[in-house]
């Protein structure tokens, strides 16, 4: 389903962008790259203060009751700034998983705390390279989890995690208090993502959803992928504008480099990828809860990943030597393009899911 943003949507887009333009700082983000276990606290404080943590949580659970469309617009603004904390996406994913689960007491306990930002949540669905495995190596027995989830985004700082773990024959969704799990830091190329191996060794966990868990997990993954896609779109669009502006001001051989077709066509192609990503993001966000939602989410994810990766590659190339310096910071986007491409399911996963949704044939 496609639609036109209304004035309310545009206000969310411009206001979130305005706040971040005023408060974000590239040097702060650059420092975080060389430290494991730290995130950009000013950004996260801004997110809480602006109500972004509450945005897509229903009002009866302490949220603002808005939807994926609005959260997507905020994610687009954070993506433009390579915001230095991953919790907007995974926090929403955890809340969404709880909301669609069967345990009312878990909702009552956790959703208001996630909405207010008092507590931070993440989601650990993947096993090794499988974003949503048909069997998990992490097992649930006697109320406890045992096993390891690798490179969980936000894992170093989250208070609680929604975990995909084996429950008898099938995997199910569990909520785990991470104060009782071991976190092994993963040194990564994008360290403010706070990746950690979460090691469970008889860690108490509560069942969120059993029978329909796979559908809930898949739809939660899709919702997070759509938020991520908006973030990717925001990053890609920012890079498009940076490439355009640089091509207008940088001169070589007696003219702006943007007058050379090898440069201007690269930028025009990028514009195309950004607009395809935007169109798919709008369509996917508005399709939540409708027929073909998973298909729309896959379209958005694929288009946004291609747009951001290409933008990172080409914008850097257009900048020449300055583009590869530490200080100039384009590598913040280059790194983020790749970390976002991996989080919430890689391209292979979404390509396969799309074709399965479209044709009924599994990979």
Partner 1 sequence: MSDYDSYRAAARAWLQSMASEFGKEARRGLSEEQDLALGRRYLAKRYDAGYGGIHLPVEFGGRGLSHVEKLIFDIEEMGFGMPIVYFSISLGMPVPIIIRFVEDREWVRERVVKALRGEEIWCQLFSEPAGGSDLAGLRTRAEPDGDGWKVNGQKLWTSWAQYADYGIMVARTDPTVPKHKGLTYFWVNMHAPGVKVRPIKLAEGGHDVNEVFLDDVRLEDAQRMSPVGGGFGVAMATLMIERYAATDSNGFGPSLDNLVELARGLEINGKPALQDGRVRSAVARNHAMRAGLDSITTRAMLSMQAGKEPGPEGALNKLFSVRSRQKLSEFAIDLQGEKGVSFDPDGLFTEDWTTSWIAAPTGRIAGGADEMLLNTIAEKILGLPQDHRPDKGIPFNQIPA
- Please give the distance of CA 203 from its chain centroid, rounded to a whole number: 27
Three-state SS across 319-343? HHHHHHCCCCCHHHHHHHHHHHHHC
Q: Does 346 bind partner 1 (CB under 8 A)?
A: no
Size, binding site for partner 1 by CB under 8 A: 45
3-state secondary structure of 276: helix
- The interface with partner 1 within residues 145-174 (CB under 8 A) comprises none
Q: How far is the CB of 308 from partner 1 (least distance, A)?
A: 14
Question: Residues 88, 78: contact at Cβ < 8 Å?
Answer: yes
At 136, phi and psi to the nearest 5? -105, 145
Return the DSSP state at 147.
Answer: E
List residues bridging with 145 in a β-sheet: 140, 203
In angstroms and rounded to an integer, the radius of gyration of the C-alpha atoms of the chain is 20
- The 247-266 site mask, x for binding partner 1 (CB under 8 A), equals xx------xx-xx-x--xx-
Both tokens of residue 78?
């954070």
Q: Which is nearer to partner 1, 109 or 352 (CB)?
A: 352
Q: Does 350 bind partner 1 (CB under 8 A)?
A: yes
Q: Which is nearer to partner 1, 145 or 341 (CB)?
A: 341
Q: How far apart are CA 89 and CA 121, in angstroms?
A: 10
Q: Which is nearer to partner 1, 308 or 350 (CB)?
A: 350
Q: How far is the CB of 234 from partner 1 (least distance, A)?
A: 17
Identified binder of partner 1 from the candidate list 12, 138, 302, 340, rule CB under 8 A: 302
Question: Residues 330, 319: contact at Cβ < 8 Å?
Answer: yes
Q: Which is nearer to partner 1, 29 or 73 (CB)?
A: 73
Q: Does 358 bind partner 1 (CB under 8 A)?
A: yes
Q: Does 352 bind partner 1 (CB under 8 A)?
A: yes
Q: Does 141 bind partner 1 (CB under 8 A)?
A: no
At 35, phi and psi to the nearest 5? -125, 135
Element (H, E) at 61: none
Return the DSSP state at 259.
Answer: G
Q: How far is the CB of 354 from partner 1 (least distance, A)?
A: 4
Q: How far is the CB of 334 from partner 1 (least distance, A)?
A: 22
Q: Which is nearer to partner 1, 32 or 274 (CB)?
A: 274
Residues that bind partner 1 (CB under 8 A): 2-4, 244, 247-248, 255-256, 258-259, 261, 264-265, 267-269, 271-272, 275-280, 282-283, 295-296, 298-300, 302-303, 306, 348, 350-352, 354-355, 358-359, 361-363
């Amino acid at each position: 389903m496609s639609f036109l943003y209304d004035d309310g949507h545009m206000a969310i887009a411009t206001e979130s962008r305005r706040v971040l333009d005023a408060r974000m700082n590239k040097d702060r983000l650059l420092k975080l790259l060389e430290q494991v276990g730290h995130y950009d606290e000013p950004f996260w404080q801004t997110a809480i203060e602006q109500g972004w943590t509450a945005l897509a949580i229903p009002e009866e659970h302490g949220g603002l009751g808005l939807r994926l469309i609005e959260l997507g617009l905020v994610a687009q603004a954070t993506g433009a700034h390579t915001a230095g904390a991953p919790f907007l996406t995974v926090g929403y994913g955890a809340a969404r998983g709880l909301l669609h689960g069967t345990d009312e007491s878990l909702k009552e306990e956790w959703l208001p705390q996630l909405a207010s930002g008092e507590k931070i949540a993440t989601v650990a669905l993947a096993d090794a390279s499988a974003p949503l495995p048909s069997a998990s190596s992490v097992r649930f027995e006697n109320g406890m989890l045992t096993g390891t989830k690798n490179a969980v985004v936000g894992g170093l700082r989250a208070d609680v995690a929604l975990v995909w773990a084996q429950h008898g024959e099938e995997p199910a969704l569990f909520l785990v208090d991470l104060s009782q799990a071991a976190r092994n830091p993963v040194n990564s190329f994008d360290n403010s993502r706070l990746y950690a191996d979460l090691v469970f060794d008889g860690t108490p966990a509560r069942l969120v959803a059993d029978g329909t868990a796979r559908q809930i997990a898949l739809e939660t993954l899709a919702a997070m992928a759509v938020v991520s896609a908006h973030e990717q779109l925001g990053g890609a669009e920012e890079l498009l504008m940076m490439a355009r502006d640089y091509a207008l001001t940088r001169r070589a051989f007696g003219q702006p480099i943007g007058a050379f077709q090898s440069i201007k066509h690269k930028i025009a192609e990028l514009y195309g990828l950004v607009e395809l990503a935007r169109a798919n993001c709008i369509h996917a966000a508005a399709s939540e809860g409708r027929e073909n939602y998973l298909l729309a989410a896959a379209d958005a994810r694929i288009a946004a990943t291609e747009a951001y990766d290409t933008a990172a590659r080409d914008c850097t190339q257009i900048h020449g030597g300055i583009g590869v310096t530490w200080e100039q910071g384009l590598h913040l986007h280059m790194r983020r393009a790749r970390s976002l491409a991996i989080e919430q399911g890689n391209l292979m996963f979404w390509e396969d899911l799309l074709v399965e949704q479209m044709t009924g044939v599994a990979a």
